[in-house]
Amino acid sequence: MKRSEINRLIINAISFFESMNFSLPPWAYWSVDTWKERKDHCAEIFDNQLGWDLTDFGLGNFSASGLLLFTLRNGNPKKGLKSYAEKIMVVEENQLTPMHFHWSKMEDIINRGGGNLMIQLYASTDKEELSSQDFELSLDGISRICGPGEVVVLHPGESITLNQGLYHSFYGEPGKGKILVGEVSAVNDDHSDNRFLEKMGRFPEIEEDEAIAYLLSKDYVNVN
């Protein structure tokens, strides 16, 4: 992805968060120079990979397969006692996050507002393939039996609990607008806890065609 595209996407996300009355911490807007000035006080942000993040999953078409998110809080088993994480995400209409599960992380996905979030679900087999078996899940504390490949619709205010090993992909319902999506989970590790059904990348390769407007979490090596 080009840095110019990343800058534009984050600027658009900030406008969307503001329109949804969702506030980010002050450091979400820091310049690179400000990060360099204050880096000695930001160990938790750096170590736990808080902040801006996005990916096109290595597929080269962010609008079709991509996700923009901001990690608000996260633990690190090696450097603290915090055992939970929280993210806020922007999901566009028909923008797919591909099928995957997590070995370690259990999470709740919450539609915080906007359009409808479509989530397709499969249990996994012992060989980490898609299962043909029904499975049970929880929607806002209410249990439900789902069939393999069933699509659950989350309207604003609704949430779903995703256990470890439960395959899921999601996208915004066409014609309903972009969605503010929350995630509350156990500690998040996007470097080693994502099992995609098809092999793909999690972090984008970046072409530096213009200056950085907002640091991604993967950019912290530039200041730390």
- Cα 33 from Cα 191, distance rounded (Å): 27
Model pTM? Answer: 0.95
pLDDT band at 224 (very low <50, low <70, confident <90, very high): low
Neighbouring residues of 19: CB distance < 8 A, sequence distance ≥ 6:
none
Express as a percent the part of the chain with pLDDT over 90. 92
Q: DSSP string of 142-164?
A: EEEEE-TT-EEEE-TT-EEEE-T
Check pLDDT > 90 for residue 50.
yes
- Cα 170 from Cα 151, distance rounded (Å): 9
CATH architecture of residue range(s) 3-222:
Sandwich (2.60)
Cβ atoms of 17 and 164 closer than 8 Å: no
Check pLDDT > 90 for residue 215.
yes
- Cα 149 from Cα 169, distance rounded (Å): 10
**Domain residue limits, the chain:** 3-222
Q: Select from 64, 120, 51, 58 the least CA-distant residue to 91.
A: 64
- What is the structure's pLDDT at 201? 82
Cβ atoms of 178 and 115 closer than 8 Å: yes
